[in-house]
Structure 1
Amino acid sequence: MNTQQFTIESSEVAWKTLPLEGGGEVRLQMYLKGADDGPEAIHARISEGYEVEPHFHLAAQFQLLLEGSMEFPVFRLDAPAVHYTEHNVPYGPFKVSGGHSMLVLHTKPGGVIMMRDKERRRQANTRGREFTCCAHEVEWEPLPGHDGARRKVLIPASRGPSVEILECPPGMRFAAEAPTYGRYEVVLTGTASADGKQLGPKGLRFVAAGEQASALTCGAQGATLIVLTFDRDAEKNYGGSTEEMLARMEQ
């Protein structure tokens, strides 16, 4: 699989604005559309104060909060932060504030099912895993093998899926082993180049299962990277398509 097609520079992706039920709107960039049962990645900005109703996705998911806050019934996320759910695990409602910006990341098409759908909510995976962490909750530690670099481990690999924030000096080359189930590498600040393409803030690369990707090289000002690695729950396709759901919203 060629990772070139999965290297996305945010400034090159068109925006789409869609109305939301009950008022408000969401601005979207469809980074990856889940073509051929492949990865699905969306950059979303939801209007200030909007409350998103309870729902779930038909795929393992990372919500990566880049800016702003998300208030859930029993926890709050302040950027940068991560929220992981296994396939079909329901969550919400949550209210956004502070200039909300997030990435929604799947290895396969995810779609969305609202919990108010009495028939389809029977598919909910109420025993599945859900992990959350804000960067401010974790201390920095040295990044092994890289002088002058440090990391925050938001979700340790011992839990299955994992998330790390890496603060990298100029010119550092980040190269990880081939993932077993898929991995996203996101630029939070600074720049990095990969596969002949430069990525700025909110740019990303998806590395498919078993793919040995080339190194990410940090730019002249360094870069802060967020590395999100899936586990076995991302191996299967449980149906659904976010692109199709968005098309219905436009009708």
Structure 2
Amino acid sequence: MPVLAPGDAAQATRRPIVSNGVAAHLTTFIGSNRYMASEAPPPGPEAVYPMAFLVEQPAGSVVDSHFHEANQFQLVVAGHGTLGAHAVQPIAVHYSNAYSAYGPITAGEDGLQYLTLRNGYDRGARYLPAAREELRGVRRRFRAAVADAGPPGEAPEQATTEVLLAQAPDGLGARRHRLPPGAALQGPDPADGDGQFWVVTAGALRAADGATLPALSCAFVGPEEAPFAVTAGKAGLEVVVMQYPRWRDHVAAG
């Protein structure tokens, strides 16, 4: 079954954190992380393990360049700033393979808020240049992309789809769907990739089991699942669907 994470329920986990010297806030939606750990032992790098949390980075702060042990999407949902050389604002999507450094992330005058979304467990950021030695001997395929779809809008009269990251042969891709009230949407076949995250950026999403996800909620669909079928709520729906690539080069290399 898909993992559903309503944003209003996740707010109970919001807490202050300090990472790389930056004081921020983190809200956990799905999975455990270094700031909200589970009692269960962490899964291995080959396991599909969804992680989703919201980072609220304060105005003017800078998170240094770093990398992670898992493939990752980031979706900017509020504020402005830069990611490396790219200006980002809602709704910008960024993807980076495991062991592929990116950044720095600089928050603008109104701060920067972004969802971090992974399909495998990660122990936390490895900052450069201190962690550069960890990249030695790791066969990695660097891939990073930023697409800016513009801010959420009012519900359209007809369903529209916007390609943010064109789907690659390995399944990696991202699209934004905008639906009028009551319209139906079926996502891509999860078997084409290595898991999907669906993030509601406006309106509401109704799942087949009747569960409703309001704005700033997310769902994870595993690669073994059937295509995710949803309908738009009374105010319509805007949702960003992000799919991970099938292969994990960092696991094979290990």
**TM (normalized to structure 2)?**
0.80
Structure 1 counterpart of 2:37: none
Contact 2:141/2:249 (8 A) holds in 1: no
Q: Is 1:44 aligned to 2:44, yes or no?
A: no
1:121 CA drift (Å)? 4.3
1:140 alignment counterpart: none
* Greater helix share, structure number: 1
How much does 1:213 deviate? 4.6
Query: 101, 117, 121: which one pairs with 2:113?
Result: 101
Residue of structure 1 in register with 2:211 after alignment: 197
Equivalent AA in structure 2 for residue 17 of structure 1? P
Partner of 2:221: 207
Cα distance in 2 for partners of 1:198, 1:235 equals 36
Quick check: 155-164 or 38-47, which moved more? Answer: 155-164
Partner residue in 2 for 1:173: 184
- Aligned equivalent of 1:183, options 196, 200, 221: 196
Aligned partners of 1:8 and 1:136: how far apart in 2?
24
Q: CA RMSD, aligned part only? A: 2.5
Gaps of 5+ in 2: 33-41
Partner of 2:14: 15
Distance change (3 Å), C-alpha of 1:39 and 1:120: same
Identify if the C-alpha distance between structure 1 residues 110 and 216 changes in structure 2 by more than 3 Å, giving closer, same or farther: same
Match of 1:243 in 2: none
**Which residue of the other structure, out of 209, 221, 229, is the alignment partner of 2:243?**
229
Write the mapping of 1:141-180 to structure 2, written as runs, cut at 5 A. Answer: 148-158=158-168, 160-180=171-191
8 Å contact 2:14–2:27 — kept in the other structure? yes
Counterpart-to-counterpart distance in 2, 1:106 and 1:130: 14
Query: Which residue number corresponds to residue 97 of structure 2?
Result: 86
Answer whether contact 1:32 1:39 (CA < 8 A) is retained: yes
Q: CA-to-partner distance for each residue in 1:210-241, whole Å, 9 max, x for gaps?
A: 20155211101101110101112458758xxx
Contact 2:140 2:250 in 1 (8 A): no
CA 1:169–1:125: 2 relative to 1, 3 Å: farther
Residues in 2 aligned to 1:213 and 1:87: alpha-carbon distance in whole angstroms: 26
- Percent sequence identity is 24
Distance 2:183 2:249 in 1: 31
Q: 1:73 to 1:106 in 2, by over 3 A?
A: closer
Give the AA of the match of 2:201.
L
Contact 1:167 1:224 (8 Å CA) reproduced: yes
Deviation at 1:118, TM superposition (A): 4.4
What is the match of residue 246 of structure 1?
A: none
1:158 aligned partner, one-letter code: A
Contact 1:83 1:130 in 2 (8 A): yes
Whole-angstrom distance in 1 between the partners of 2:199 and 2:30 = 14
